[in-house]
Chain A
Amino acid sequence: QQQVKQSPQSLIVQKGGISIINCAYENTAFDYFPWYQQFPGKGPALLIAIRPDVSEKKEGRFTISFNKSAKQFSLHIMDSQPGDSATYFCAASRRYGGSQGNLIFGKGTKLSVKP
């Protein structure tokens, strides 16, 4: 119940295309869903996050879509650029979870955007 399953493991997109990364979770108590971006040799950095009271959140070219009934959320990168090439992690946690309140990460998606 604590897992967050992320797909695909790797993704190749042409410049200008749309990159889509999907995540699924089991624990219905999760109420915070962030995405992290990691460049080679760097630590992950928070990219965008959503709470389950909204179905979509957009920041620039990055959009999170959230489907509460399906227990799925996804990251869409519009007009993908070579500079977006990185590893992306989805994650989930629940407020007031006590010892179970840790942020649970997916295994990551390596995105390559070809010029």
Chain B
Amino acid sequence: NAGVTQTPKFQVLKTGQSMTLQCAQDMNHNSMYWYRQDPGMGLRLIYYSASEGTTDKGEVPNGYNVSRLNKREFSLRLESAAPSQTSVYFCASSEAFGHGGYTFGSGTRLTVV
């Protein structure tokens, strides 16, 4: 039971570089989410996909884009990384949008220098 798989686990980027964080779930969940976690700030929603084919902005979407590739996969792209995007990024999924248990991946620790 893999649950939610995120890759990579760690990444160091230079300012201005781009990268894509990958997320896949094997639970046939309809909804997927991207959060960032910073000390003292809790979990902040970046983007979400309530169902396959839809994506919407969350609380902190600036500097990010997402793609819901299919029901299983939801990627997060940083087009031009900035030091302010240094954070731990979590992908999550749920059977129903906003309800039920969210299953989180183990996170990607990103450092932008």
Contact = CB atoms under 8 A, between A and B. Distances in A.
Interface of A: 6, 9, 32, 34, 36, 41-46, 49, 89, 93-95, 97, 99, 101-103, 105-108
Interface of B: 4, 40-43, 45, 48, 50, 56, 58, 90, 92, 94, 97-99, 101-107
Which of B45, B50, B90, B97 counts the most chain A CB atoms within 10 A?
A: B97
Contact of B43 (A9, A45, A95, A105): A105
B105 to A, nearest CB: 5
A107 B41 contact: yes
A60 B105 CA distance: 25
Nearest to B92: A43
Contacts of A6: 42
Given A32-B99, A34-B101, A95-B98, A102 B45 contact: yes
B106 A42 contact: yes
A44 B43 contact: yes
Contacts of A103: 94, 98-99, 102
A6 B42 CA distance: 10
A60 B93 CA distance: 26
B42 A43 contact: no
Closest 10 CB pairs of A and B: A43-B104, A107-B42, A101-B98, A46-B101, A93-B98, A105-B43, A108-B42, A44-B104, A102-B98, A43-B106
B101 A49 contact: yes
A49 B4 CA distance: 21
Contact of A43 (B50, B56, B105): B105
B48 A95 contact: no
Contacts of A9: 40
Nearest to B107: A43
Given A43-B107, A44-B104, A106-B42, A95 B56 contact: no
